[in-house]
């Protein structure tokens, strides 16, 4: 089998005869309705931002497109999609989703302190962490 070569002559190809009666029970997949702008180009609508990451100082965002399945989501540069009218709302939803995921893993009090720190400053964060209802270890109790 090692000596067989997977190349063949194109002249040996034959056209497949149409057999429409074979697949009568199979549903015809519906195509996504195409939206066209004034110049006739396709318009794609952002439905949701799923994930984000930064590479070489450029933020990339995983975008779910309206009317397309999840596996058709694509990574786009933030600078390419931030001109969209509802981009700020999508970013807020993404941040809320990320914060909810972190609160599950870290604990609710930590994220509340982190949010307050972002709004009110570092001194408040120190106060909130000192007034926490739990003690992590002996070192944190001495502070």
pTM: 0.50
Rounded CA gap, 108 and 114, in Å?
10
In this prediction, residues 6-29 reach a mean pLDDT of 76
The number of C-alpha atoms within 13 Å of 3 and in the hemisphere containing its C-beta is: 0
pLDDT tens figures, 83-138: 888 899 999 999 988 888 877 666 655 656 565 555 544 444 455 455 444 444 44
Domain regions of the chain by residue span: 27-116
For residue range 39-73, what is the model confidence (pLDDT) as tens digits? 878 778 889 999 999 989 999 999 999 888 899 99
Instruction: Give yes or no for a contact between 44 and 66, defined as CB atoms under 8 angstroms apart.
Output: yes
Distance CA 138, CA 143 (A): 9
Rounded distance, CA 33 to CA 67, Å?
A: 8
CATH label, 27-116, candidates 2.40.30.10, 2.40.50.40, 1.10.10.10, 3.30.300.20: 2.40.50.40
């Amino acid at each position: 089998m090692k000596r067989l070569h997977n190349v063949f002559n194109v002249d040996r190809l034959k056209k497949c005869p149409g057999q429409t009666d074979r697949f009568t029970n199979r549903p015809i997949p519906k195509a996504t309705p195409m939206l066209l702008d004034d110049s006739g180009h396709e318009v794609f609508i952002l439905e949701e931002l799923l994930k984000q990451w930064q590479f070489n100082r450029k933020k990339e965002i995983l975008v779910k497109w309206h009317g397309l399945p999840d596996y058709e989501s694509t990574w786009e540069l933030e600078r390419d999609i931030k001109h969209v009218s509802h981009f700020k709302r999508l970013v807020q939803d993404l941040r809320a989703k990320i914060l909810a995921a972190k609160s599950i893993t870290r604990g609710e009090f930590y994220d509340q302190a982190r949010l307050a720190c972002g709004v009110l400053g570092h001194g408040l964060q120190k106060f909130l962490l000192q007034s926490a209802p739990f003690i992590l270890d002996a070192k944190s109790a001495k502070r």
